Amino acid sequence: MRSALLALLLFLLLPLTARAEGTGELPAEIRDAGDWQLKGSARLRVYLFHVYDGALWAPDGEWGWEQPFVLDFKYARNLKGEDIAERGAKEMKELGHCDLLEDCWLDEQKQAFPDVSDGDRITGWYRPGESVRFYFNGEFRHEVDDPDFARPFFEIWLSEHTTAPAFRRRLLGK
């Protein structure tokens, strides 16, 4: 009874946590595109469930919105691509980037995100003023050729107003 109560208490008090764990390995698809270095990494948990590990790669390890960077996610759960896309659109809407869920580049995100299983990787390459390129397990998947999409999308994790502030801090190496 006591352990069940403790589990329930942890479930209620720790809805979202991040640890300094991540993919740690430079994605092959960007190796030849510059001198990338790991800025930070984190593990995202929702309640007690490990969802994914993330890593932020930047030229010379210096991150900023004015230069390219890569967010690499290694999933620990089976998730439907459509659910990933809808969550992304919802997060962008909550950050104030669009009025309706459908306006949050939902169709583009559905094309970018396949169903994932434990161990699968999705890599997003931020190209300021140009586009975002998405890779699935190292293979090119989709490009959103809209500079208005790029920053709002990555603000899901990197905005000061993210729903996962501990995850953000770890990605930024803090």
- Burial, 67: exposed, middle or buried (Cβ in 10 Å; 0-12, 13-18, 19+)? middle
State residue 7 phi and psi, 5-degree precision. -60, -45
CA dist 163 and 170 (Å) reads 14
* pLDDT at res. 34: 73
Q: Give tens-digit pLDDT for 45-100.
A: 988 899 999 999 999 889 999 999 999 999 999 999 999 999 999 999 999 998 87
- Burial, 90: exposed, middle or buried (Cβ in 10 Å; 0-12, 13-18, 19+)? middle
Over 60: is that where the pLDDT of 119 sits? yes
Domain boundaries 13-171, corresponding CATH code: 3.50.70.10
Sorted by where each begins, the domain ranges of the chain are 13-171
124, β-bridge pairs: 71, 134
pTM of the predicted model, to two decimals?
0.82
Over 50: is that where the pLDDT of 13 sits? no
Helix (H), strand (E), coil (C) string for 59-128: ECCCCCCCCCEEEEEEECCCECHHHHHHHHHHHHHHCCCCCCHHHCCHHHHHHHCCCECCCCEEEEEEEC
CA dist 174 and 161 (Å) reads 16
